[in-house]
A and B are shown apart, each in its own frame.
Chain A
């Protein structure tokens, strides 16, 4: 039964390897990708339901007991994120069928895509710090392949920077693992948590904690370390940007959430206070970036940053309510970022430009696209019927309860500015004088709206069906506040 925990990693990995061999038959590759993303989604949903009914599944690789072997821990938090990842994979695969040029499809796009999903799922599920590093590298290597795929001038230029910053932070990650190993003598997360608790997180451990935080903050694009993100995320084709924007930074956030709710929780007044300041600056600077540009894709890419800031604020406040808000917002943000990238990609495909000043009047001939974008914009800003509202509400409620009024103010102002930045696309791109050439007026969306519709249905469901989803999320948050649940599940005496 516990072998189920490996399936979310194994299925995409095997599919990816298989796709490398049959790469020549393009139709077959698409059919297999199309089937496998659905199979994956079904399998992880099933595992998710098992986990929610019977508690975490812990797989000890090779039957070595917990601290000695590698463990794969499928707990509720990891499964929620894996299910969301696979949902985005379904939408991305179908968007790729409709939007990607033949050249890119021929050079192993679908294989790299499956390996990326395998890496992301692995990073969510692993229970071992060095194994987390390896899964980071799996997903990063796949993302390096994807970001240069096609080899345009701009992609080559921006991918150099992307790879260099990620290589540097990976080296820092290895160094930090070495430090941690020298202090506590283990790399298993549950045992790390036990041993850090035994020595009550002395000074050296807090230093290591902050180093580890800087590694994940670079991956997750927090305030002083986000400079690499916007341009490198807007260089590759839309479907790749969407995958990156939805999945990669969120792995960084998840790692911070896991490490700082399980292992380093004994100097809250220092570490978590520090997170709140970082979160505030991240929200403000990200939103200023989003307001500063007229490139539609760059606006969405900049909007990734304040969202990460909101999640960090929740982790910084560290109460059950705020953590529930963070998890809700994390799931919502993965879905909505993918949807927004798809929508601006479709806008750009129709009007032939990413420049907002050259667009206008799209709504007259493409009303469905327009109203879908409107819904996505409202969901992003966090208006009540949609999913963004509940996450933000819980987050800010948690912050008020713990008397962090500063971050509440920053969060509310940030939300307003996010709405301004995204509605700017709607006002200038969809309203205004029509600037479409006659053939562009008749241009169809080419089936690209189906994957977006799938994602938007889920944002609406997450918002309207909050009664249904909330108890589960609250349960996860409660178990995050008490790390002994995780430790007891992994290390059985």
Chain B
């Protein structure tokens, strides 16, 4: 099971990196979203995918899944959610102000 998840995370990483290297800003942002999905999937996989009850104390359950990676992921999800929403608004503003969403055209040496 871990192997399967590792391959899936790898696929997400490679797609994410491919999207990061595109020219359109929106594709790049989709790339970052894919990358963070890959990272979160990797955290849950790295905590070992043992079978067990959900980490809520209840009677009759002796074996639980590891609660720590779940807490780490929850933290990481909200952080990347915040950053992504900021990035989307920034991309919108940059498109309005610079008149292009092409990263190739967003360079320049006209400093001040």
Spell out A's residues near B (CB within 8 Å).
Answer: 130, 133-134, 137, 141, 144, 148, 151, 153-154, 156-157, 159-160, 163-164, 167-168, 170-171, 174-175, 177-179, 181-182, 187, 234, 295, 298, 353-355
The total of Cβ contacts below 8 Å across the A-B interface reads 104
Q: Knowing A164-B20, A168-B32, A354-B111 are in contact, say whether A156-B86 is a contact too (CB < 8 A).
A: no
- Taking CB atoms, residues of chain B closer than 8 Å to A164 are 20, 28, 32, 87
A181→B97 contact, CB < 8 A: no
A153→B98 contact, CB < 8 A: yes
A175→B90 contact, CB < 8 A: no
15 contacts between A and B (CB under 8 A): A148-B90, A156-B93, A156-B98, A157-B108, A160-B103, A167-B80, A167-B87, A170-B80, A178-B39, A179-B46, A181-B69, A187-B68, A234-B111, A295-B111, A355-B111
Q: Knowing A168-B20, A234-B111 are in contact, say whether A182-B83 is a contact too (CB < 8 A).
A: no
Q: Knowing A175-B39, A234-B111, A295-B111 are in contact, say whether A181-B68 is a contact too (CB < 8 A).
A: yes
A174→B108 contact, CB < 8 A: no
Q: Is B47 an interface residue (CB 8 A)?
A: yes
Spell out B's residues near A (CB within 8 Å).
Answer: 20, 25, 28, 32, 35-36, 38-40, 42-43, 45-48, 68-69, 72, 75-76, 79-80, 82-83, 86-87, 90-91, 93-94, 97-98, 103, 106-108, 110-112
The majority secondary structure among interface residues of chain B is helix
User: CA–CA, A298 to B111, complex, Å?
Assistant: 9
Q: Knowing A181-B69, A295-B111, A354-B111 are in contact, say whether A167-B83 is a contact too (CB < 8 A).
A: yes
A181→B47 contact, CB < 8 A: yes
B79→A137 contact, CB < 8 A: yes
User: CA–CA, A96 to B87, complex, Å?
Assistant: 26
- Taking CB atoms, residues of chain B closer than 8 Å to A148 are 90, 93
B83→A174 contact, CB < 8 A: no
Q: Knowing A181-B68, A181-B69 are in contact, say whether A156-B94 is a contact too (CB < 8 A).
A: yes
- Taking CB atoms, residues of chain A closer than 8 Å to B42 are 175, 178-179
User: CA–CA, A177 to B73, complex, Å?
Assistant: 11
Q: Knowing A171-B39, A178-B46 are in contact, say whether A160-B79 is a contact too (CB < 8 A).
A: no
User: CA–CA, A163 to B82, complex, Å?
Assistant: 12
Which of A154, A156, A167 gathers the greatest number of chain B CB atoms within 10 Å?
Answer: A167
A171→B35 contact, CB < 8 A: yes
Question: Which residue of chain A is the closest to B107 with respect to CB atoms?
Answer: A157
A157→B86 contact, CB < 8 A: no
Question: Which residue of chain B is the closest to A145 with respect to CB atoms?
Answer: B86
User: CA–CA, A234 to B46, complex, Å?
Assistant: 40
- Taking CB atoms, residues of chain A closer than 8 Å to B72 are 130, 174, 177-178, 181, 187
- Taking CB atoms, residues of chain B closer than 8 Å to A167 are 32, 80, 83, 87
User: CA–CA, A141 to B72, complex, Å?
Assistant: 18
- Taking CB atoms, residues of chain B closer than 8 Å to A354 are 111-112
A141→B82 contact, CB < 8 A: yes
Closest CB-CB distance, B16 to chain A, in whole Å? 8
Question: Which residue of chain B is the closest to A134 with respect to CB atoms?
Answer: B75
The 6 closest A-B pairs by CB, nearest first: A182-B46, A178-B43, A178-B46, A156-B94, A174-B39, A175-B39
